[in-house]
Amino acid sequence: MTAPDDAPAREASYSKTDEQAILDVISRWLEREVKPQVMQMEHDDVYPYALVEQMKEFGLFGATVSERYGGLGLRASTYARIVALISEQWMSLTGIFNSHLMMAAIVEKHGTEEQREYWLPKFVTGEVRGGLALTEPDAGTDLQGIRTRAVADGDAYRIDGTKTWISNGIEGGAVALLVKTDPDAAPPRRGMSMFIAPKVDPDTARPHPGFRTGRRLEKLGYHGIDSAELIFEDYALDARRHLVGGEPGHGFYMAVGGLELGRINVAARSVGIARRALDEATAYAQTRRTFGKPIAEHQAIQLKLGEMATRTRAAELLTEDAARAYDAGERCDMEAGMAKYFASESAVSNAMEAMRIHGGYGYSREYPVERLYREAPLMCIGEGTNEMQRIVIARQLIERNPV
């Protein structure tokens, strides 16, 4: 799968034909490789090594990275469609490359040119894969409450602290690591910095002392992808290659900017879940019969399907709106927050309604609605809770419409 030659980063101007060709490739792969084994792999909670290798070949680990550094340079709007499509079959797969692309976006937007040229080609090929290490045991949505500390030591920094719930924490090879370089800064965000923190030095293939992977965290859903604790003890990194941007104090803004793409991704994942729940419910309602007719002819079921279809389409449109704003280089925390909030709640509602339409079969592991029901709630939590999204939306609404 290749991107057009005239597609530099987010401003790429893809035709409908180009976009459809990419989606067709992904659709065929999902039908051929993913669909036959997804139920078993998801229930066994095993990491999909073979599928990851295939995603490398497609270029998904460089999907939104500029062609200048070897990526596909896809627009966020095209990327969101890919994410939604994959999430219809198995949402977990999108987490493997989305967290990675958030790390890449931070380097591309905020890194020095030397850092871009060193890290981005490695990210694009999947030679170095990873994610975003923000969350700590006592700090999630409140990023300014993190405790992981980086202390300057000549031209290097020594890092100590613990991160948790880190996607790709075990199978990945690096993380964009948010730390405090000045714990006394006021406000705290001014004393935060971002490092690219590898487990293994890409040049020497030697493990970096002080970077240790903790326990693998068990989850209700989102199986297959690894979520883990990461522990840093006297972990030394040189500033030139690893401190993003080369100067301390800007990490909070890098993290928040990265979450815009992350929230669009979560919205797209939610669209995929909501769409699949609607498809499963619509099909089942036409084949299951009660009182002498398909349940799709009962008004109670029609009311559910009508609401599900409307929620799904509204979620699609909000996600497209946020992606377009991101592609245009506009501030889109409000649009991304709206999309993430509404689409994730739609995924939860549709998954529940699909289960109720299926009756007892919806509770069975033999049907995909059971998996959708377990996957959907994470969308309301990931990349900032929906409670926080509503606050972000309200604040932006007031800021953009002063009296």
Tens digits of per-residue pLDDT, 290-310?
Answer: 999 999 999 999 999 999 999
346 and 62 Cβ atoms separated by less than 8 Å: no
Q: Which residue has the higher pLDDT, 22 or 335?
A: 335
Q: Are residue 263 and residue 395 in the same domain, yes or no?
A: yes
Q: Tell me how far apart the alpha carbons of residues 338 and 389 are, in angstroms, rounded to a whole number.
A: 7
* H runs (alpha helix) in 198-332: 239-242, 251-287, 299-327
> Which of 125, 156, 173 represents a domain boundary (last residue)?
125
> 38 in a domain, yes or no?
yes
Residue 70 and residue 152 in one domain: no
Which of 77, 106, 125 corresponds to the end of one domain? 125
String of DSSP letters for 318-382: HHHHHHHHHHTT---HHHHHHHHHHHHHHHHHHHHHHHHHHGGGGGSTTSHHHHHHHHHHHHTTT
**358/305 same-domain check:** yes
Report yes or no on 359 lying in a domain. yes
Same domain, 222 and 277: no
The predicted-structure confidence for 103-144, as pLDDT tens digits, reads as follows 999 999 999 999 999 999 999 999 999 999 999 998 877 888
Quick one: pLDDT band at residue 2, thresholds 50, 70, 90? very low
Range of the domain at 167: 130-250
Separation between Cα atoms, residue 25 and residue 50, nearest integer Å: 17
Same domain, 260 and 215: no
Question: Mean of the pLDDT values across residues 322-340?
Answer: 94
Answer yes or no: 383 catalytic.
yes
Which residue is associated with the tokens 């669209």? 271
Catalytic one among 316, 320, 345, 383?
A: 383
Domain boundary among the residues 250, 266, 287 is at: 250
pLDDT of res. 138: 86
| Residue 4 resides in a domain | no
Q: 373 with 308, same domain?
A: yes
Task: Determine the 3-state secondary structure of 196 from DSSP.
Answer: strand
- How many domains does the chain fold into? 3
Query: Which pTM does this prediction carry?
Result: 0.92
Distance CA 243, CA 195 (A): 5
Asked if residue 378 and residue 260 are part of one domain, the reply reads yes
